[in-house]
Structure 1
Amino acid sequence: MGTTALPYRDINVHSSPAHYAFSSPSSPSAPTLVIDRPSGDIRLHDGKLLGSKRVSSVAGILGIIKLRLDKYIIVITKAQPMGRIKGHMIYKVVATEFLPVRERPLHDPDEDNYLSLLKTLIKTSPLYFSYSFDITNSFQRQAHLDPSTPLWKRADDRFFWNRFVSSDLIDFRGGLGGVYGRHSSGQQPNVDPYILPVMYGMMEIKNTSIKGTPLTFILITRRSRLKAGTRYFSRGIDENGNVSNFNETEQSIILNDNASGGPGGFGSNQNGAVGGNPGKETQVLAYVQTRGSVPVYWAEINTLKYTPKLQVRGVENALPAAKKHFAEQIRLYGDNWLVNLVNQKGREQRVKEAYEQMVDYLVSSPVDNVEGDSITAERFHLIEPANAQTAYDRLHYIYFDFHNETKGLRWDRAKLLLNQLEPHILKHGYFRGVDMPGDAGRVEVRRHQTAVVRTNCMDCLDRTNVVQSMIGRYILSRMLIDLGLMHEGESAEEDQAFEFLFRNVWADNADVVSKSYSGTGALKTDFTRLGIRTKQGALQDLSNSITRYCLNNFKDGPRQDAFDLFLGTYLPSDDGIGGQLLFADRRPIFIQSIPYILAASIFFILVGSLTRRAPEATIWPLRLLLLLSLVTAGMCLSFVWGNGTLYVNWPKLNRLPAQVESYQETLSKVSHHAVVGPLVGTRHERGKSDARLLGLEEGKKRIE
């Protein structure tokens, strides 16, 4: 593997009023990357640059982002080792710094808000990277990629989380002559080591043993950067075939991995066992599952009620987008077993029926050549069936009424679903590869996984994780039986020490995926961790549900804005600096004042009720004040509750049509109210965002 294909492990940053210079002390002969100030132009420089001083040493360059006033270079200042995979250390981003390309001569409130959003997002995001191992691709995809190709070119575009902020460096490197740069003319290959792909998700590497056999147990969840967002502000599918909350989860075991070890060194594990047996071949066995939102146009509109207003738009309108989505899924993974856990009664019923209607449309659709979203065939190995099939014949829908089947804390009944899936999981198998001795990076593939189980519930969080961990346990036992490490009929959960580790790793995965989407840890993790439902777990679920309610209504708008900024689905404009005030509250003053009036009324009630008074004091003025405060508080609460859409903290940058429609509808209703209408007036027209909705159609998202 050529050294130029791998990112630098150490980068010194030199700064001067004229430029930033990045160089690797371990590669003194390599050119220096220079970013000129204040233009932001990128160039390579041979030899030393004069007139600059060393500022710091960084772990890597996360990317470059342009806001309204300035460009900022985002550098990783601190990274934490998480463990080794086949000798390659994996790191987690702990701290970053924004280097302004020019000293900001102007003060702009929107620029400050942009920076605050981005810094908070990066600080709270689980970001992972490796200098020498491609963590964005599954082991099966890696086995069919050229290990001499630069790491960023090998990265799976869906999980290359900093792809947008790396675009300046990628464009300078030579642009994209072909898909993902695989056919780039390579004008500036010396830039490759400065491009560091970063994955958003979850990763745990455990050196352990099962029934006396030492192995490395790994769980990786990769979150897609396409249609990424928060729980109620990102639902369903977009016109490009991307679904919300799409995650690929890969569970793998590595046998005889002498190079694996914890952050502290090689080969050690929690139980004191050695990480492998010298002289034996290193084997990797891996199984991939996916989750993603129901692929139709649907939305949930926050109204401050605990259950938002559900909208399912025309299923036929979403058919072209669903075709793109599943064409890509089939090309990437083979057959898709679509496990739907949405309730068949109540408010979720409409989403269930829409999904089933969509699948019916797809499997009965005529043969057509639907291209996946910028996916090239040579990147992914796919075993085609001997008999020709239409693409969508490889979709297999399974419905399981999770809540109904497991009611009364009968969580063991979830295995009814596993019994239904078992023959198909066995038929399509898992990936098994063996490292080729003396040929670094080459893998002999002995078995392919030719299908994937794609699981969803409403949020693709709690129910989904219970089912995925159940499938993960089953496939792990199958791997160990096939390897001869266990007898037929035995299960990995019989090893109590490993079962404890397994449950907690999967519960950690549930919490990470849930927190990134809903803002809190997952529900039902007591079942994942302990195998039973407990009262303490139920209380924790209640706490998480209340926290989710508050976050989803009052905090997720700015978080959605941060995702849109970092991932490039919103591009800041430098027009009208200091005049637009995108983040200003443009609601009518009366609407804004209601919560303050409510707070003041509650304050007077508390003061009037708790303050001691002199015996000779007149009582009726105090009672009148309390009565007025009670009436005012009641009216304010009634107004807020009845017009909750006006008090949700909506995203300010990319506003979805359904949300804007609901907001304007509520505002119009208030303005026509006999009592409140005159106080609101018609000035609320300022708050309309029609200009931002140009070109948006129902169920579609703005194309970059």
Structure 2
Amino acid sequence: MPAAPDSVSRDMFRLYRTRDGQSYILESPLKSKKGGENMLLISQDAVQVKTLAQAAALGLDDGPSASQVDICGVVGIIDMLLGKYLIVATARTLAATLQAHKIWRVTAASILPIGPASQLLLARKKGVDDRTLGKYTLDQELLQSINEIANSGHLYYSTTYDLTHSIQHNYLRTSRKASQTVIDDRFFFTKHLAQPVLNAGEAAAPWVLNMICGFAGTIDLSIALPHEAGAMEGAPKSYKLTLISRLNRRRVGMRYVRRGLDFDGNTANNVEMEQIVYHEDYHRCKKLSAFVQIRGSVPSVWGQDLNMNYKPDLLVASIDKPAVWNSCKKHYDDLKNQYIGENAVEGSGPDIGKVICVNLLDVSGFEGRLTKVYEDSVRRFRDDKVSYEEFPVNKWCKGGKFQNMEILVDRVRDRLVNSGWLIADGDVPASSLVAGGAKTSTPLTILKLQTGLARVSCLDSLDRTNLTCSIFARYMLPYQLQTITPGLGPLPASTNGVIASDLRDPVASVRAALTPALVRTITNMWADSGDAVSLLYAGTGALKADVTRTGKKTIRGSLTDGINSLTRYYLNNFVDGRRQDAYDLWTGKAVASQINHLVETEGVKRAQRVRKPYLESGSGIIGRIVPSFVINTIEPLLQTATEYARASPRTIRPTVEPQVHETARRVETTTVTRWVSPHFDSEGSPNSIPGLLISAAKLYAPTQVTSAIEFVIALALFAYLLVLTRILGIQGHSVVNRPRLSVEYRNIFDLLD
């Protein structure tokens, strides 16, 4: 948050727990020069702003184990199954800059229980019913995944600039000059968590951080640019290039759980990428430029049903189905509303921007169905503002011929250049989220707006997509540099005002000044961004990263791709369901009916396990002799085997995953027949010897793969389960781990063919 003129921002501020252990009191992140700072009270019931005197009256915990934590920001409050938890950032590092604004990366975060939830563990066997204890045990599992998100290193914020919007959208929003453009909070990744603080009113605004999830980085560009005769002396040659990648929170999730569109037209793995160039000496030369492009899953309703196959079959819904076509239409309308609603120059200028839908999929074979439905949907939309460009990378670049990507650039360069890039002059203003925010010395003047963009996608919208986006960004960089550098000639234009890029390369001299070392630095940052997006969606770094970084395939890169592919294979089948549950809670997508179902089945079963352990560390003869880690390893296996032994053959029923259809009036449960299994009951307990063997193995499945040992264990476990299912003829659908809180996941699968 920008500091008011009479206050300064604190790098760190203090969090206290109240003496009764029920609430937290947070120091203000703004230090007032006049005194009289407010405090923020967070309890189970409310979030309130208090004066220092009011906060002191509540009593702070000053015992020997007093809870006093130095934090650098509030991420938000998450409502779990049993109680609420406060998520705070405890460490940060400078990731990027935008003129005077600093962009911070959260490197450590803590999750703190609000209210009495933390005391439940002490009384878990006495005076607590199975349902409540079940909620607690489920919360502990889900909080592990929530903690992974908070500590992933992919959360970024600025205390002076609203990072959730591009410079262009921030300008249009704050100046209220958007004539057509729709600007919303889709990239405010912590919006759901921050809502309780936002609801406390304007006085609580200093504690709100508009965080994005994705990537931010800045590199130095030192370029010996040519200057025309008469150019000003000492023209700057040092620039900063900042890349910001923002993940859309509306359809966030894991690779095989979130594919294509939802019913509101939101696409999976949707990332807005903004390449910003400004002068290192921005106090003297204030011009800057920004180029935006987006990536996202193929815009139709489709999916791949996990079944332990390396490449699950594509399931694609026909766009002739009303629900599917409505989703496609909403998506294309939304692209127009977000990115091509303005003229190039405010109130005038050519209206030539377009959405360029770049499809990198194969036109036949496995990906052919998706290519056809993509092309058909654009054709059916019938709008000159939305164009389609097909470029099957696997065909054109077969055998490592990635230089053929220049063919794609040649096809779309006119549309890219004519869609433009933002050109502005002045100081990037501080966000106006706090009344009385600091004023900039030189107001930002917009010289030209970007009026179109490229929308790039492949199957996962990761590897081929990131390669393509980095190439587009490198192609546009000389245009950005030329238009902000004093002394360089203006870009040639045809009679209708369109840049004459079809006649010659108007920035050839600038392009030639980009040395190979400089290009490597730029592509490395784009590869880092691609790795971040890939880790969020698929669990590993991007494939083909060596091509993005060096322009060619390497032996080391091929080995890394092989390891990453196998790691994805394991994570997608046995970890991503749990991660998706965490994302659904983080973004507010979890549905009460699904939560209740989870508590009544798995939660109650876990509570009963806690109450009646076979082995308990420190209890009984065995518990005192055997090390606790051995007990913790053996106990789940004993419980699973006992549940199987107790199951009566006459009560065995196949697993039917509940599918919830939400309407305005009712919630009804049906079944997804493809997920029926004779080997497990509806609570996941084994109904057969094969089911028992599978359940026992899954107990020891690593929840992450971050080391060589974890990789070997995961690979061995997966191989065992794969062989077992093939020999015994067990459907892979019943073995994989699916999300338990996602209604949308089940509803979409009901439409797929």
Matches of 2:690 and 2:743, distance apart in 1: 20
Q: Secondary structure at the match of 2:450?
A: coil
Matches within 5 A, 1:678-697: none
Matches of 1:548 and 1:145, distance apart in 2: 40
Q: Secondary structure at the match of 2:164?
A: coil
Contact in 1 for aligned 2:534/2:540 (Cα 8 Å): yes
Q: 1:205 offset after TM fit, Å?
A: 0.8
The partner residue of 1:394 within 364, 382, 385 is: 385
In structure 2, what is the equivalent of residue 566 of structure 1?
Answer: 586
Q: 1:166 offset after TM fit, Å?
A: 1.0
Q: Secondary structure at the match of 1:226?
A: helix
Spell out, residue by residue over 1:106-132, the C-alpha distance to the aligned partner (whole angstroms, 9 max, x if none).
342112122222112222250000100
Matches within 5 A, 1:252-651: 252-258=276-282, 280-317=284-321, 318-334=324-340, 335-363=354-382, 392-435=383-426, 439-440=440-441, 442-482=443-483, 483=485, 488-490=507-509, 491=511, 494-571=514-591, 579-582=600-603, 585-595=684-694, 636-639=724-727, 643-651=731-739
Q: 1:350 offset after TM fit, Å?
A: 0.4
In structure 1, what is the equivalent of residue 37 of structure 2?
Answer: 30
Q: Does the C-alpha gap of structure 1 residues 40 and 416 become closer, same or farther in structure 2, counting only changes over 3 Å?
A: same
- Match for 1:349: what amino acid? G
- Segment drifting more, 511-520 vs 474-483: 474-483
Q: Structure 1, unaligned stretches of length 5 or more?
A: 149-153, 174-188, 259-277, 364-391, 600-631, 659-692
- Does 2:672 match 1:653? no
Contact in 1 for aligned 2:686/2:695 (Cα 8 Å): no
Matches of 2:307 and 2:221, distance apart in 1: 48
Matches of 1:291 and 1:633, distance apart in 2: 35
**TM-score using structure 1 length:** 0.74
Matches of 1:596 and 1:67, distance apart in 2: 26
Matches within 5 A, 1:44-63: 44-48=49-53, 49-50=56-57, 51-53=59-61, 55-63=68-76
Q: Secondary structure at the match of 1:3?
A: coil
Matches of 1:10 and 1:147, distance apart in 2: 32
Q: 1:655 offset after TM fit, Å?
A: 5.5
Q: Does the C-alpha gap of structure 1 residues 506 and 576 become closer, same or farther in structure 2, counting only changes over 3 Å?
A: closer
Q: 1:410 offset after TM fit, Å?
A: 1.2
The partner residue of 1:122 within 136, 150, 154 is: 150
Identity among equivalent positions (%) equals 28
In structure 2, what is the equivalent of residue 140 of structure 1?
Answer: 168
- Match for 1:123: what amino acid? N
- Does 2:178 match 1:159? no
Matches of 1:407 and 1:577, distance apart in 2: 47
Q: Does the C-alpha gap of structure 1 residues 699 and 204 become closer, same or farther in structure 2, counting only changes over 3 Å?
A: farther
Matches of 1:119 and 1:422, distance apart in 2: 43
- Segment drifting more, 25-34 vs 560-569: 25-34
Contact in 2 for aligned 1:8/1:194 (Cα 8 Å): no
Matches of 2:366 and 2:597, distance apart in 1: 45
Spell out, residue by residue over 1:151-181, the C-alpha distance to the aligned partner (whole angstroms, 9 max, x if none).
xxx99511100000111122232xxxxxxxx
Contact in 2 for aligned 1:7/1:193 (Cα 8 Å): no
In structure 2, what is the equivalent of residue 131 of structure 1?
Answer: 159
Q: Does the C-alpha gap of structure 1 residues 572 and 640 become closer, same or farther in structure 2, counting only changes over 3 Å?
A: farther
In structure 2, what is the equivalent of residue 204 of structure 1?
Answer: 217
In structure 2, what is the equivalent of residue 266 of structure 1?
Answer: none
- Does 2:237 match 1:229? no
In structure 2, what is the equivalent of residue 179 of structure 1?
Answer: none
In structure 2, what is the equivalent of residue 218 of structure 1?
Answer: 242
In structure 2, what is the equivalent of residue 661 of structure 1?
Answer: none
Count matched residues: 562
- Match for 1:136: what amino acid? T
Matches of 1:85 and 1:162, distance apart in 2: 22
Spell out, residue by residue over 1:22-60, the C-alpha distance to the aligned partner (whole angstroms, 9 max, x if none).
122713423221123xx4322222233232147122111
- Segment drifting more, 463-472 vs 82-91: 82-91
Matches of 2:367 and 2:8, distance apart in 1: 47
Matches within 5 A, 1:5-44: 9-16=11-18, 17=20, 18-24=22-28, 26-27=31-32, 28-36=35-43, 39-44=44-49
- Match for 2:47: what amino acid? I
- Does 2:95 match 1:82? yes
Q: Structure 2, unaligned stretches of length 5 or more?
A: 62-66, 121-132, 177-181, 226-236, 341-353, 429-438, 490-505, 607-682, 699-719
Spell out, residue by residue over 1:363-394, the C-alpha distance to the aligned partner (whole angstroms, 9 max, x if none).
1xxxxxxxxxxxxxxxxxxxxxxxxxxxx331
Q: Secondary structure at the match of 1:96?
A: strand
Spell out, residue by residue over 1:241-298, the C-alpha distance to the aligned partner (whole angstroms, 9 max, x if none).
100000011111111444xxxxxxxxxxxxxxxxxxx6x3311111001011111110
Q: Does the C-alpha gap of structure 1 residues 475 and 413 become closer, same or farther in structure 2, counting only changes over 3 Å?
A: same
Q: Does the C-alpha gap of structure 1 residues 436 and 520 become closer, same or farther in structure 2, counting only changes over 3 Å?
A: closer
Matches of 1:120 and 1:537, distance apart in 2: 27
Matches of 2:148 and 2:83, distance apart in 1: 19
Q: 1:7 offset after TM fit, Å?
A: 7.9
- Segment drifting more, 432-441 vs 232-241: 432-441
Q: 1:12 offset after TM fit, Å?
A: 2.0
Matches of 1:172 and 1:470, distance apart in 2: 45
- Does 2:116 match 1:103? yes
- Match for 1:285: what amino acid? S
Contact in 1 for aligned 2:292/2:453 (Cα 8 Å): yes
Matches of 1:657 and 1:197, distance apart in 2: 28
Matches of 1:520 and 1:485, distance apart in 2: 43
Contact in 2 for aligned 1:7/1:195 (Cα 8 Å): no
Q: Secondary structure at the match of 1:145?
A: helix
Matches of 2:397 and 2:88, distance apart in 1: 48
Q: Does the C-alpha gap of structure 1 residues 513 and 19 become closer, same or farther in structure 2, counting only changes over 3 Å?
A: closer
- Match for 2:266: what amino acid? N
Q: Does the C-alpha gap of structure 1 residues 488 and 131 become closer, same or farther in structure 2, counting only changes over 3 Å?
A: closer
Q: Secondary structure at the match of 1:314?
A: coil
**TM-score using structure 2 length:** 0.70
Contact in 2 for aligned 1:556/1:650 (Cα 8 Å): yes
Q: Does the C-alpha gap of structure 1 residues 571 and 11 become closer, same or farther in structure 2, counting only changes over 3 Å?
A: farther
Q: Does the C-alpha gap of structure 1 residues 160 and 296 become closer, same or farther in structure 2, counting only changes over 3 Å?
A: same
Q: 1:211 offset after TM fit, Å?
A: 2.3
Q: Secondary structure at the match of 1:325?
A: helix
In structure 2, what is the equivalent of residue 669 of structure 1?
Answer: none
Matches of 2:599 and 2:518, distance apart in 1: 58
Q: Secondary structure at the match of 1:144?
A: helix
Contact in 2 for aligned 1:521/1:544 (Cα 8 Å): yes
- Segment drifting more, 139-148 vs 501-510: 139-148
Matches within 5 A, 1:238-249: 238-249=262-273
Q: Does the C-alpha gap of structure 1 residues 639 and 492 become closer, same or farther in structure 2, counting only changes over 3 Å?
A: farther
Q: 1:2 offset after TM fit, Å?
A: 6.7
Matches of 1:488 and 1:354, distance apart in 2: 37
- Match for 1:529: what amino acid? R
Matches of 1:697 and 1:556, distance apart in 2: 17
Q: Does the C-alpha gap of structure 1 residues 172 and 588 become closer, same or farther in structure 2, counting only changes over 3 Å?
A: farther
Q: 1:633 offset after TM fit, Å?
A: 10
Matches of 1:557 and 1:87, distance apart in 2: 41
Matches of 1:479 and 1:633, distance apart in 2: 53
